[in-house]
């Protein structure tokens, strides 16, 4: 029995279908991320799990109990909001104990819980302050404290880090992950930030237009995206998509490419062995080839004898150093392609450079349906 | 306030300042003139008024006119001053202000935090209420009060003013609560608080700034109202505004300007008092901690 079951849940507002049949099973102690661009329905789904919004059809069960008709307070959940939603007229202590007070927990017990939670989150020194006297990060901690005090079956996080500055966001990310490991709590976490999704989640549900496009572990989503949207959404800089034709060369199937604009000398990338079968039906037709920037690099660090790695000379157009890596832009099939090279490679704009293409992780998409082919 | 650049007074700038201040002072004097005349006249004896200049300071200060206006001036046939009417006004203004403010707060809470199908349409309809002139509702209101059996009573006046004031108080509170993030109510619901608990424990404690605005507005409106007072009350239940009118229009021989002036000031004092006292509590940014800083 899982902590949360979402079965064929739909939601419509009038004629607009916001969620179209969502199915998600969450194990006890799992950290599930709902990620997607704004308007994909992820926050609506979270609100529906919380009971703040009604379900049009389908079923939601928390710890095996169907909660469709239960009000938020009876669902054994706690929620952390993007705007923190601290009660401005109450001190930190009162904020944390408000839910306990409403539930008529004895006063000594309340104080005990507040003390424990404050210790866990290291906000003991803030207990008597008002929310307006706290910084963003501190407010976020208090908001989490309020959730922890309740010790619920399910924690819901609604973009909790979006209002923090970049540095604090990374710090709090680590803390949330630590907290999850320490408490073993079940967490449903909504974000639009793919890095947060990758770093925090046990599994990620990538959503778009009210549909879960892919539900898998972060690495699986990254390496084996189910469709063009997932491939482009997860990963930064984003995966390169190149339109090209499937062709035959050296007895294998692969793609026909040319550098720069039309008319220049073409070349052939053979697809790795496991993909041959699936590409068979596409011979001579156009597909979308996906290749991540880090799969096109320079030879500085390369020493292995991978048969799937091929070398090409390409003209570099733009160089963007990021510190650990340098992003360089080349053109393949009239499409700008980002490559991630080592800073020591000394890439210069306008100069040709030898680049290594790792073809083992190539992905192919149907240009019409945008579904994965291989 | 860091964004403001301090400009040093140089040539033309300083001249502008002088002109602005001169104009402001002139207008302030102009507007204060009637008040000055009222106070000065109310402190003079009748002989001095007849003999002297309207703008002159009283030679001899006497509070006789004030005493008379309060306790023994004639408003029609009754000669017991304004004190009874003053208490009349207090007795319906206070409950009317309190009730209309509370209901307004409650309406605002429902319209913003518990949106329902048609809540915006409902709000628009309420808004229309702000544009209905007093005169239009006189007859239907008289009828309604008769049906309810509270015609010509203090309760009736409270009812009239509450109903008429609701459109305004709802507007005030609705527009204030719209800026309270909906997440606050959501968080409280998850914490287990119900509809009324959220109102009393979370929303009302955030409301002092708008309560002050609403109370000032409602108090001024209801205290200064003449039309509802003259139509829906009579005799010894009349509010002070009606009594003041009667007092000024009741002439038994000599026109007692000093008593009229004192009575007018007495009638205006409570609203002045509310402005001075409540104005201090215009607190702002109480919700600053609720949303991102």
Q: What is the mean pLDDT of residues B62-87?
A: 86
Q: How many residues does chain B have?
A: 293
**Using a CB-CB distance cutoff of 8 angstroms, which residues of chain A are in contact with residue B181?**
83, 85
Judge whether residue A88 has pLDDT over 50.
yes
Pairing mode of beta strands A211-216, A240-249: unpaired
Judge whether residue B6 has pLDDT over 80.
no
Omega cis (within 30) before A237: yes
Indicate whether this complex's ipTM tops 0.85.
Answer: no
CA distance A244 to chain B (A): 48
What pLDDT band is residue A300 in, cutting at 50, 70 and 90? low
What pLDDT band is residue A220 in, cutting at 50, 70 and 90? very high
In this predicted structure, what is the pLDDT of residue A372? 93
Listed residue (A194, A178, A226, A224) closest to A31, CA to CA: A178
In this predicted structure, what is the pLDDT of residue A291? 94
* Burial grade of A278 (CB within 10 A; 0-12, 13-18, 19 or more): middle
Chain center to CA of A113: 33
Q: What is the mean pLDDT of residues A119-136?
A: 92
Q: What CATH homologous superfamily does A241-365 map to?
A: Nucleic acid-binding proteins (2.40.50.140)
- Residues of chain B that touch chain A, judged by Cβ-Cβ distance less than 8 Å: 181, 183-184, 186-193, 197, 201-202, 205-206, 286-293
| Interchain contact A50–B (C-beta under 8 A) | yes
In this predicted structure, what is the pLDDT of residue B1? 40
HEC letters along B1-63: CCCCCCCCCCHHHHHHHHHHHHHHHHHHHHHHHHHHHHHHHHCCCHHHHHHCCCCCCCCCCCC
What pLDDT band is residue B292 in, cutting at 50, 70 and 90? very low
Residue of A44, A85, A99 best to disrupt the B interface, most CBs of B under 10 A: A85
- The verdict on a CB contact (< 8 Å) between A163 and B292 is yes
In this predicted structure, what is the pLDDT of residue B282? 53
- The verdict on a CB contact (< 8 Å) between A83 and B190 is no
What the block records as the tokens of A154 is 């399910």
Q: Where are the domains of chain A?
A: 4-233, 241-365
Listed residue (A137, A73, A129) closest to A96, CA to CA: A129
Q: How many residues does chain A have?
A: 374
Nearest CB to B191; choose among A83, A88, A102? A102
Judge whether residue A228 has pLDDT over 50.
yes
Q: Where does CATH 1.10.3720.10 sit in chain B?
A: 83-289
Q: What is the mean pLDDT of residues A51-58?
A: 92
**C-beta separation of A310 from A316 below 8 A:** no
What pLDDT band is residue A147 in, cutting at 50, 70 and 90? very high
Most confident of A58-67, A294-303, B12-21, B120-129: A58-67
Topology adopted by domain B83-289: MetI-like fold (1.10.3720)
Q: Mean pLDDT in chain B? A: 86
Q: Where do the H-state alpha helices sit in B225-279?
A: 227-232, 240-249, 257-279
Phi, psi of B239 (to 5 degrees): -70, 170
Residue of B116, B185, B187, B211 best to disrupt the A interface, most CBs of A under 10 A: B187
What residues does A12 pair with on adjacent strands? A17
Place of tokens 């849940």: A9
CA distance A150 to chain B (A): 8
Residues in contact with B196: Cβ distance below 8 Å, sequence separation at least 6, in sequence order: none
Q: Order of strands, edge to edge, in the sheet holding A296-297?
A: A296-297, A352-358, A309-315
**pTM: predicted TM-score of the whole model, two decimal places:** 0.81
In this predicted structure, what is the pLDDT of residue A150? 87
Topology adopted by domain A4-233: Rossmann fold (3.40.50)
CA distance A332 to chain B (A): 45
């Amino acid at each position: 029995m899982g902590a949360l079951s979402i079965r064929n849940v739909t939601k419509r507002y009038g004629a607009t279908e916001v969620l179209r049949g969502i199915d998600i099973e969450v194990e006890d102690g799992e950290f599930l991320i709902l990620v997607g661009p704004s308007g994909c329905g992820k926050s609506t789904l979270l609100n529906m799990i919380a009971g703040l919004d009604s379900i049009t059809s389908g079923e939601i069960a928390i710890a095996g109990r169907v909660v469709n008709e239960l009000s938020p307070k009876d669902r054994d959940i706690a929620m952390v909001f993007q705007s923190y939603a601290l009660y401005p007229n109450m001190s930190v202590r009162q904020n944390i104990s408000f839910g306990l007070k409403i539930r008529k927990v004895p006063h000594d017990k309340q104080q005990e819980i507040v003390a424990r939670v404050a210790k866990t989150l290291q906000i003991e020194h803030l207990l008597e302050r008002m929310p307006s006297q706290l910084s963003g990060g501190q407010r976020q901690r208090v908001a989490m404290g309020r959730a922890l005090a309740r010790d619920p079956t399910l924690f819901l996080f609604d973009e909790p880090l979006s209002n923090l500055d970049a540095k604090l966001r990374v710090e709090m990310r680590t803390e949330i992950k630590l907290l999850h490991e320490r408490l073993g709590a079940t967490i449903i976490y909504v974000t639009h930030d793919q890095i947060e999704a990758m770093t925090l989640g046990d599994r990620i549900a990538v959503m778009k237009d009210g549909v879960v496009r892919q539900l898998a572990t972060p690495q699986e989503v990254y390496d084996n995206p189910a469709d063009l949207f997932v491939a482009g959404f997860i990963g930064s800089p984003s995966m390169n998509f190149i339109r090209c034709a499937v062709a035959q060369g050296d007895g294998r199937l692969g793609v026909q490419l040319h550098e720069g604009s039309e008319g220049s000398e073409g070349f052939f990338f053979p697809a790795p062995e496991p993909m041959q079968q699936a590409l068979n039906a596409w011979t001579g037709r156009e597909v979308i080839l996906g290749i991540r920037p880090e799969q096109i690099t320079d030879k500085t660090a390369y020493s292995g004898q991978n048969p799937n790695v091929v070398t090409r000379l390409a003209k570099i157009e733009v160089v963007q150093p990021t510190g650990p890596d340098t992003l360089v832009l080349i053109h393949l099939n009239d499409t700008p392609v980002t490559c991630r090279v080592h800073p020591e490679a000394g890439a210069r704009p306008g100069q040709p450079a030898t680049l290594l293409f790792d073809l083992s992780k190539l992905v192919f998409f149907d240009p019409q349906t945008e579904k994965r082919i291989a | 306030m860091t964004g403001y650049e301090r400009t040093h007074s140089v040539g033309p700038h300083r001249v502008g300042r002088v002109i602005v201040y001169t104009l402001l002072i002139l207008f302030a004097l102009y507007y204060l003139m009637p008040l000055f005349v009222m106070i000065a006249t109310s402190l003079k004896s009748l002989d001095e008024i007849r003999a002297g200049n309207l703008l002159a300071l009283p030679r001899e200060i006497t509070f006789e006119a004030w005493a008379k206006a309060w306790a023994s001036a004639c408003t029609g046939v009754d000669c017991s001053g304004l004190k009874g009417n003053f208490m009349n006004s207090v007795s319906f203004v206070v409950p009317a202000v309190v009730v209309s403010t509370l209901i307004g707060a409650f309406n605002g809470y429902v319209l913003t935090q518990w949106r329902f199908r048609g809540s915006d349409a409902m709000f628009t309809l309420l808004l229309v209420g702000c544009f209905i002139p007093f005169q239009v509702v006189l007859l239907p209101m008289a009828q309604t009060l008769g049906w309810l059996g509270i015609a010509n009573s203090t309760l009736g006046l409270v009812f009239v003013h509450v109903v008429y004031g609701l459109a305004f108080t709802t507007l005030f509170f609705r527009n204030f609560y719209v800026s309270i993030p909906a997440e606050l109510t959501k968080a409280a619901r998850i914490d287990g608080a119900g509809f009324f608990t959220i109102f009393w424990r979370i929303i009302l404690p955030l409301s002092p700034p708008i309560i002050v605005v609403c109370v000032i507005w409602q108090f001024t409106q209801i205290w200064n109202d003449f039309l509802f007072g003259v139509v829906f009350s009579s005799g010894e239940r009349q509010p002070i505004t009606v009594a003041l009118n009667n007092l000024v229009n009741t002439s038994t021989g000599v026109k007692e300007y000093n008593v009229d002036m004192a009575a007018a000031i007495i009638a205006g004092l409570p609203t002045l008092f509310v402005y001075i006292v409540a104005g201090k509590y215009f607190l702002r940014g109480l919700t600053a901690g609720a949303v991102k800083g």
